[in-house]
């Protein structure tokens, strides 16, 4: 049996609706056993009303009769009433237990409920179906007017339940299983869960209210999340409900308008990123921390250092995403309540501490109905980590890595403006005016963007003289000398000792020169290959094979190696010495040793 207990404040209470169809209770009937999963939560709503959630999972058979028969809402669950009785026995029989609300059950099942829990009022909650043309994509449109230049984005309406006017101590809802298997993006499942969540916020008074989900799959994990796990049998975990997510059809908060501010708990909130043993991103992570400090934030930056590079089965070999399943370790940083994960290849240009006030998952759109995991708000929980690990073989990641998998688990998320994770990227179809606008944003001082995310070759792996993406045809969507220069301005205010982590290995110098020569042969019109390199790192060696010019003589040969087995890294810096460098709150964790 799984039981979670949490305390949270609900951020808002949307309008709710309901129907007053009442049944009188009958005597208990026949029961049988089924597999059960229970989660219990306590919510502190603004009205001080206490709400408790229970979740139940069981096996299915094909049987259904209900109302107007929208087949999307059909649930083929054969309820095993013995377990229902076992679950509800702890709740019923008390003086304060007066009413049961029932949603999405057929007539036969309604009769069973009346027999199972006698001497209380049974209220059949009738919910108007979502519009026939309502799709998941309509909740996550490809584009919305984030700047609100012509309109304020608004989500399509989903009917709600009316408040009953009758005291309910238990709300039971039966969730459907989507045809075609895409249950995590099923509008009917979403609608039923949101309707119940909204209804719970409408009740006034100080009495217990429980919600029972009858479903074969876990509910929306960031609407009913697992926070403080206190026991379990097996399977799925649920937990606290912080906020009713808006979806991605409108912004979680507007880009313009009131100045964004947030106080929060500095000791319980942190930024976090991940490094792998290749150390390619060490310099980037240090620069990211420097930018956080320059933005005025005093939060920690927690760096997960993966020294073993353990792969998960779902990761794609030889791809960047091959290692990114280790991102799940973020959920185990339970010394904090909440983190903002940031990729190590970005700069924080303006303070984004206000994002700590947002729920999981808050992120920018990537494409279609998907979010970009490069900047995202995460609520820490070992229970959520286990949920992610338990289902890793059940979902196919569209990109072979963490972002694709997380999008399958957290299908319902908060959308923030792209200015809070702005990609350094010029689409093939971008008009010249749009390219100029992006370039202006990259260099604006004071900054307009909150976060600038460096795609393609990273600035610290290029010579500082210009963006080396110009010299690679496969990276021609990424170069910007203005953005490149901006990164190096942050680098230059880093302590000199930390700047050593941004030195170039001889092999990288050879690669850059090789790319320059290829650009010269191809006569790339940007002409960057003609620029004389003045980067002082060119003459500094940090490894045993300092002759990068000699490497070029053998470039491309398969039977030659530049054996780097003894290549030293820049000087190791103990965590304790960081305070002397005035580099605030930089901490190192080794997740695979946890």
Tokens 């302590």 belong to residue: 495
Q: What is the mean pLDDT of residues 421-437?
A: 93
Contact 345, 182 (CB under 8 A): no
Whether the pLDDT of residue 228 is over 50: the answer is no
Output the CA torsion 488→489→491→493 (10° steps): 160
Task: Please tell me which of 59-63, 162-166, 414-418, 515-519 the model is most confident about, judged by mean pLDDT.
Answer: 515-519
Report percent pLDDT > 90 for the chain.
34
Judged by DSSP in three states, 52 sits in strand
Strand partners, 453: 346, 423
Q: Kindly report the length of the chain.
A: 594
CA distances from 510 to 17, 238, 331, 513, 550 (A): 67, 52, 40, 5, 9
pLDDT of 8 reads 27
Judged by DSSP in three states, 214 sits in strand
pLDDT of 462 reads 98
Sign of CA dihedral 388, 370, 461, 549: positive
- Domain regions of the chain by residue span: 3-231, 266-418, 422-553
Output the CA torsion 467→470→472→476 (10° steps): 110
With b for 16 or more beta-carbon neighbours within 10 A and e for fewer, the 41-76 pattern comes to bbbebeeebbbbbbbbbbeeeeebebeeeeebbbbe
Whether the pLDDT of residue 189 is over 70: the answer is yes
Peptide bond connecting 361 to the previous residue in cis, omega within 30 degrees of 0 = yes
Strand partners, 121: 99
Tens digits of residue pLDDT in 288-335: 999 999 999 999 999 998 765 344 444 444 444 444 567 889 999 999
d(CA 158, CA 133): 12
Whether the pLDDT of residue 422 is over 90: the answer is yes
Q: Residue 28 class from Cβ within 10 Å (0-12 exposed, 13-18 middle, 19+ buried)?
A: middle
Contact 471, 530 (CB under 8 A): no
pLDDT of 88 reads 78
pLDDT of 14 reads 29
Q: Which of 177, 271, 206 is nearest to 49 (CA)?
A: 206
Six token digits for residue 31: 């029961």
Q: Can you give 577-590 as a three-state secondary structure string?
A: HHHHHCCCCEEEEC
Q: Quickly state the pLDDT bin for 119 (edges 50, 70, 90).
A: confident
Tokens 């019109």 belong to residue: 525
CATH fold for domain 266-418: Spore Coat Polysaccharide Biosynthesis Protein SpsA; Chain A (3.90.550)
Q: What is the mean pLDDT of residues 462-479?
A: 97
Q: Which of 300, 308, 301, 299 is nearest to 285 (CA)?
A: 301
pLDDT of 126 reads 87
d(CA 487, CA 492): 9
Helix (H) or strand (E) holding 520: helix 506-522
Judged by DSSP in three states, 43 sits in strand
pLDDT of 137 reads 72
Tens digits of residue pLDDT in 157-182: 788 888 778 888 888 889 887 655 57
Question: pTM of this prediction?
Answer: 0.73
Contact 173, 212 (CB under 8 A): yes
| Average pLDDT score, the chain | 74
Contact 213, 173 (CB under 8 A): yes
CA distances from 133 to 156, 161, 190, 302 (A): 11, 20, 15, 44
Six token digits for residue 372: 């970009």
d(CA 384, CA 322): 21
Whether the pLDDT of residue 262 is over 70: the answer is yes
pLDDT of 302 reads 95
Judged by DSSP in three states, 480 sits in coil
Q: Kindly report the backbone phi and psi dihedral angles of residue 34, in degrees, each rounded to the nearest multiple of 5, phi listed first.
A: -155, 160
Q: Which of 104, 107, 53, 56 is nearest to 80 (CA)?
A: 56
């Amino acid at each position: 049996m799984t039981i979670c207990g949490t305390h949270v404040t609900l951020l808002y209470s949307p309008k709710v609706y309901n129907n007053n169809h009442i049944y009188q209770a009958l005597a208990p009937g026949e029961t049988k056993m089924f597999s059960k999963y229970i989660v219990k939560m306590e919510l502190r709503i603004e009205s001080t009303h206490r709400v408790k959630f229970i979740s139940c999972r069981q096996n299915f058979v094909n049987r259904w009769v209900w109302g107007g028969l929208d087949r999307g809402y059909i649930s083929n669950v054969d309820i095993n009433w013995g377990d229902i009785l076992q679950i509800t026995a702890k709740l019923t029989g008390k003086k304060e237990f007066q009413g049961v609300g029932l949603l999405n059950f057929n007539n036969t099942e309604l009769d069973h409920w009346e027999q199972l829990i006698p001497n209380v009022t049974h209220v059949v909650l009738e919910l108007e179906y979502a519009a026939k043309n309502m799709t998941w994509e309509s909740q996550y449109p490809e584009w919305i007017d984030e700047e609100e230049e012509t309109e304020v984005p608004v989500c399509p309406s989903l009917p709600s339940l009316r408040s009953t006017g009758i005291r309910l101590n238990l709300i039971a809802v039966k969730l459907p299983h989507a045809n075609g298997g895409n249950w995590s993006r099923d509008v009917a499942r979403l609608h039923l869960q949101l309707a119940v969540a909204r209804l719970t916020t409408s009740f006034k008074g100080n009495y217990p209210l429980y919600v029972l989900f009858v479903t074969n799959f876990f509910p929306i994990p960031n609407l009913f999340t697992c926070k403080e796990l206190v026991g379990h049998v097996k399977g799925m975990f649920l937990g606290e409900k912080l906020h009713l997510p808006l979806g991605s059809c409108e912004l979680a908060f507007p880009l313009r308008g009131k100045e964004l501010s947030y106080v929060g708990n500095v000791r319980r909130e942190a930024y976090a990123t991940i490094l792998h043993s290749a150390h390619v991103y060490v310099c980037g992570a240090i620069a990211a921390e420097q930018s956080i400090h320059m933005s005025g934030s005093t939060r920690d930056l927690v760096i997960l250092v993966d020294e073993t590079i353990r792969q998960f089965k779902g990761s794609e070999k030889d791809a960047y995403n091959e290692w990114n399943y280790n991102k799940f370790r973020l959920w185990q940083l339970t010394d904090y309540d909440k983190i903002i994960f940031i990729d190590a290849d970005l700069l924080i240009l303006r303070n984004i501490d206000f994002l700590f006030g947002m729920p999981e998952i808050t992120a920018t759109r990537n494409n279609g109905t998907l979010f970009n995991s490069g900047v995202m708000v995460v609520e820490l929980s070992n229970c959520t980590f286990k949920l992610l690990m338990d289902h890793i073989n059940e979902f196919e990641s569209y990109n072979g890595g963490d972002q694709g998998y997380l999008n399958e688990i957290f299908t319902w998320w908060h959308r923030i403006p792209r200015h809070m994770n702005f990609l350094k990227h010029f689409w093939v179809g971008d008009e010249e005016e749009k390219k100029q606008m992006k370039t202006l944003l990259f260099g604006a001082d004071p900054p307009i963007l909150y976060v600038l995310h460096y795609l393609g070759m990273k600035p610290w792996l290029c010579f500082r003289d210009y963006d080396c993406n110009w010299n690679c045809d496969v990276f021609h969507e990424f170069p910007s000398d203005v953005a490149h220069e901006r990164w190096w301005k942050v680098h230059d205010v880093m302590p000199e000792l930390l700047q050593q982590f941004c030195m170039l290995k001889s092999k990288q110098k050879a690669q850059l020169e090789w790319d320059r020569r290829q650009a010269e042969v191809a006569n790339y019109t940007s002409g960057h290959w003609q620029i004389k390199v003045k980067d002082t790192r060119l003459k500094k060696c940090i490894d045993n094979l300092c002759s990068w010019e000699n490497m070029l003589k053998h470039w491309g040969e398969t039977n030659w190696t530049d054996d780097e087995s003894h290549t030293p890294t820049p000087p190791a810096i103990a965590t304790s010495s960081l305070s002397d460098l005035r580099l605030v709150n930089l901490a190192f964790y080794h997740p695979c040793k946890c």
